[in-house]
Amino acid sequence: MRETLFDSYQRLLPRERRSAPATIVEIDEETLAEYGQWPWPRTLVAELATRIAEHEPAAIGLDLLFPEPDRFSPAEISRLVPLPDELAQRLERLPSNDAWLALAIQDRKVVLAVAGLEEREPHGSPPLREYGKLLSSVPEIDKAAAGRGLISVDLPERLVRRVPLVARVGETPVPALALELWRVGTGARQFSLSDAGNGLLLVEFAAASVPVQRDGSMWLRYSRHDQTRFVSASQLLAGEADPELLRSKLVLLGVTGVGLLDYKATPLGEQVPGVELHAQLIEQIFDGTYLVRPDWALWLELALLAGGAGILVWLVPSSRVHSSVAAAAALLVAFFAAGLWAFSRGVLLDAAWPAFGLTVAFAVLLAATLSEADRQRRELREAAARAAGELEAARRIQMGLLPDTAMFDAERRFALRALVQPARSVGGDFYDCFKVDERRLFFIVADVSGKGMPAALFMALCKATIKASVMSSGAEPAAALRRAAQEIARDNPETFFVTVFAAALELDTGELSYCNAGHEPPYLRGAAGVQRLPTAPRPPVGVPGAFTFTTQSMRLAPGDALCALTDGVTEAMNERGELYGHERLERLLASLPPGAAPREINSAVIEDVKRFVGEAAASDDLTLLALRWN
């Protein structure tokens, strides 16, 4: 994860090539086509080295190994090919091709490549990468060189991200080819290696000071492949190369022909010749563009993880899921942005594992939060179920307190039907009807202030109190309401009140005595049509203060019907906010046939209210009581 992250930084911010201290003379496809396949006779390599030296470079680095004698040397040919003895002896007396190459590089600031073999576990301090031995050129060529530089890099199956700038063979430090080329080119006699702190070493030579990791490796900060770094060896041998491309430069000679297996994969997604890695390393040193990963980077990454986790611990349990996800995403973006910013400053900050840790922490916190929310939802559902059960029980109890008007179906002197529809499970509307004796019927329609459970409790108190007052007052409506008001006001800390229409009907004569305590006046359907029952205005029962109540009376004609109701009918509201109103109710009652039964009256009103309200929620309790005197 870390290497993939660092590779993405390289792709987002590749190094800009600001200078060109190194030039690569490449033995490319064109050169191989003209001068033959590789390996060449070393006399041809010597000629190429001589041509390079003629253009006065600062130093020449051969990214080539000559570990065995040249098989094209005269003496080697005399042993491989059957020749006359005299010719074979003359060939054996001629200088070898290795001697020609040694002579060509003698005193010309040439650095030869060496490769590390038998990599070992590092020991000693500092713990540099250690090799058991080196693969170098044959002694004849090796002695002529001004220096030797290591060309070993990371494992071939991986991207090349770091190269050893300094390694160790036994107890001897060995510089990389680029570093040795720098030293020889600047004329420095040696380089020094010191501890820079924070897990870094400092390699110093001439005027350069290069930070490397504790194992002596250096992170490559790649620029894009640039063909202007290269000069074809065929152009140089033909005398067609621009001398300024080589003069005072650190010149690298390497093979780039396709099929020679010296191509390396870079984090930029490119396949480049191995010799170009040395050129890019030289450019980094020249421009002072380095990448390091100091020890304190780990502590900074731990701080990022701890800080981010702390924010999530504070935020996730108290926020909505989408807010928590947005916060976690913002923290992850901030982590990677911090890593990218540090990379632009030459520090490799690994945001991958803190981001992974933060993701795990977020997942755990979110799972715990969702689990707790689910537990609370279950508890709420259980509480809601209990409350619903209790409300349903309360509704059954409240409906059970109301008399069943079907008990009067056998009565020939009158017909009566009543109903209550609470706006919620329970409500504050109620009615009552009972015979005081065989000749008198008492009935009540009332509306308690408020809705729901408090109104239902107060309704039960009011119903019982009013009925008790009626029985003790001799069925005189005003006296009954006056006594009930005194009792209700005595134990009413919440100052609830109730509007009441109470009436007593003489069943044999049709004499109606009634009292209205702040309630909707009933409608009377008779021979004269539909009209409101005239009532004297009086305050509701339960309002603080001493008020008197007045009993009024009238005589009903046979077939007259009384429709008492609560304001839940006239104030029913539709989806547009319009009220049902008295006029609509009066038109409906007037449209009913003469002598309509109370059941028909109630059903017609309820159906018309439902049609008017539509899908709107009920705004108030609704109660209807219809009485016809026969």
Residue 627: name the closest of 411, 462, 466, 459 by CA.
411
Residue 244: name the closest of 231, 225, 259 by CA.
231
3-state secondary structure of 596: coil
Asked whether 112 and 129 are in contact (CB, 8 A), the reply is: no
Residue 131: name the closest of 148, 112, 150, 111 by CA.
150
How far is CA 609 from each of CA 580, 606, 613, 614, 615, rounded to the nearest angstrom? Answer: 7, 5, 6, 9, 12
Q: How far apart are CA 356 and CA 358, in angstroms?
A: 5
Residue 515: name the closest of 484, 490, 544 by CA.
484
For residue 161, the tally of other CB atoms under 10 A from its CB is 19
CA terminus-to-terminus distance, the chain:
95
How confident is the model at residue 260, as a pLDDT? 58
How confident is the model at residue 370, as a pLDDT? 85
% of residues, the chain, pLDDT over 90: 58
List of long-range contacts for 93-100, beta carbons under 8 Å, 24+ apart: 96/69, 96/70, 96/140, 97/41, 97/42, 97/43, 97/46, 97/70, 97/72, 97/73, 98/42, 98/66, 98/69, 98/70, 98/73, 98/138, 98/140, 98/141, 99/140, 100/42, 100/43, 100/46
Tell the burial category of 275 from Cβ atoms under 10 Å away from its Cβ (0-12, 13-18, 19+). buried
Q: How far apart are CA 18 and CA 36, in angstroms?
A: 36
Tokens of 52: 């390079």
For residue 152, the tally of other CB atoms under 10 A from its CB is 20
Asked whether 543 and 482 are in contact (CB, 8 A), the reply is: no
Please give the residue that has the higher pLDDT: either 420 or 252.
252
Element (H, E) at 535: none
Residue 76 DSSP one-character state: H
Q: How far apart are CA 221 and CA 284, in angstroms?
A: 7
pLDDT-based confidence at 383, cuts 50/70/90? confident
The per-residue pLDDT for range 265-303, each reduced to its tens digit, is 888 888 888 889 999 999 999 999 999 999 999 999 999
The per-residue pLDDT for range 511-565, each reduced to its tens digit, is 999 999 999 999 999 988 999 999 887 889 888 777 789 999 999 999 999 999 9
Tokens of 185: 């080119």
How confident is the model at residue 386, as a pLDDT? 79
Element (H, E) at 555: strand 552-555
The per-residue pLDDT for range 407-460, each reduced to its tens digit, is 999 999 999 999 988 877 667 789 999 999 999 999 999 998 877 778 788 888
Residue 126: name the closest of 193, 219, 209, 220 by CA.
193
How confident is the model at residue 271, as a pLDDT? 84
Biggest CA pair distance of the chain? 166
Flag whether pLDDT at 376 surpasses 70.
yes
Tokens of 269: 């997604």
How confident is the model at residue 202, as a pLDDT? 94
Q: How far apart are CA 624 and CA 418, in angstroms?
A: 5
Q: What region does 385 belong to: left with phi over 0, alpha with psi -120 to 50, or beta?
A: alpha
Flag whether pLDDT at 124 surpasses 80.
no
Flag whether pLDDT at 353 surpasses 80.
yes
How confident is the model at residue 568, as a pLDDT? 87
Asked whether 44 and 69 are in contact (CB, 8 A), the reply is: no
Tokens of 24: 């690569």
Q: How far apart are CA 579 and CA 572, in angstroms?
A: 6
How confident is the model at residue 425, as a pLDDT? 63
Please give the residue that has the higher pLDDT: either 492 or 61.
61
Q: Identify the residue whose tokens are 């713990």.
A: 127
Residue 297: name the closest of 220, 193, 219, 359 by CA.
219
Q: How far apart are CA 395 and CA 401, in angstroms?
A: 10
Element (H, E) at 86: helix 85-93
Residue 573 DSSP one-character state: B
Query: Which residues fall within 8 angstroms of residue 187, CB to CB, at 6 or more apart?
Result: 206
Flag whether pLDDT at 261 surpasses 60.
no
% of residues, the chain, pLDDT over 70: 98
How confident is the model at residue 338, as a pLDDT? 94
How confident is the model at residue 155, as a pLDDT? 57
